[in-house]
Amino acid sequence: TVATNALLERKGERIALLITKGFKDLLFIGNQTRPKIFDFDIKIPEVYTLRTLEVNERVIPFDESCRIKDLGEVKETSLGKKVIVEKEPDTEEVTRSLEKVASKGIKSIAVVFLHSFIYPPHELLAKQIAEKLGFTSISLSHEVMPMIKIVPRGFTVCADAYLTPKIKEYIAGFESGFSDGLKSVRVDFMQSDGGLCNVNRFV
């Protein structure tokens, strides 16, 4: 209930979102998924981002019959898919953007790039840069929701970045209440599906 309460009370972590350039407003715009599709009074879901940073990167799924040619290097992914890497992220640009965010006291970021579920290197690069800058919580969309459709993937990774620090804070407080920090015993948490998860893999 820690995460649920933080979500309902809007007491999650302050976060920033890194997204492919040109899609800054994507999660605000969303898609046609809503309870009453013909309702004129449309209520847009809240996005829990304090800052949204665009990253100039682009990956395009490739097919042999595709007419898109010569846009970049064709690479084969670990899933056996082919993609065209039209634009690699500029490491210095990403670093400068994250430094500005860090200067505002934000320590948690969410990263969602187009087609990262089949080609994650760009998100992993962003994570490496963020770790060097001292960000304590980094959520990557291809890890939390490795599926097609960037809008639900974006909402999911933002929720993860928003809530994970609060869960970690709760676990740290729980462990500190024991003399040895529970290092001598196994600690499992029950998940919503009824299964058990070790504390080290819970978040």
Share of the chain above pLDDT 70, in %: 96
Q: Are strands 73-76 and 82-87 parallel, antiparallel or unpaired?
A: antiparallel
> Which tokens hold the place of 1?
């209930």
Range of the domain at 189: 1-57+89-201
For residue 72, being part of any structural domain is answered with no
- pLDDT of 9 reads 86
In a domain, 84, yes or no: no
The answer as to whether 73 is a domain residue is: no
- Looking at the domain assignment, is residue 158 inside a domain? yes
Residue 23 lies in a domain: yes
pLDDT in the model for residue 149: 92
Mean pLDDT, residues 24-44 taken together: 81
Residue 68 has pLDDT above 70, yes or no: no
pTM: 0.87
Task: Note whether 26 and 141 are within 8 A (CB).
Answer: no
Q: Please, is 137 exposed, middle or buried when counting C-beta atoms within 10 Å of its C-beta (0-12, 13-18, 19+)?
A: buried
Measured distance CA(75)–CA(63) in Å, rounded:
11
Report residue 183's pLDDT band, with 50, 70 and 90 as the boundaries.
confident
Asked if pLDDT for residue 43 goes beyond 90, the answer is no
What is the band of 104 on the pLDDT scale with cuts at 50, 70, 90? very high
Q: Is the pLDDT of residue 69 over 70?
A: no
Question: Is position 64 within any domain?
Answer: no
Residue 118: pLDDT above 90?
yes
Domain tally, the chain: 1
Residue 101 lies in a domain: yes
What's the 3-state SS for 18-75? EEECCCCCHHHHCCCCCCCCCCCCCCCCCCCCCEEEEECCEEEEECCCCCCCCCCEEE
pLDDT at residue 72 greater than cutoff 80: no
| pLDDT tens string 130-161 | 999 999 999 999 999 999 999 999 999 999 99
Instruction: Give the side-chain half-sphere CA count within 13 A for 124.
Output: 7
Residue 44: what pLDDT? 72
Average pLDDT over every residue of 19-26: 95
138 occurs within a structural domain: yes
**pLDDT higher at 192 or 100:** 100
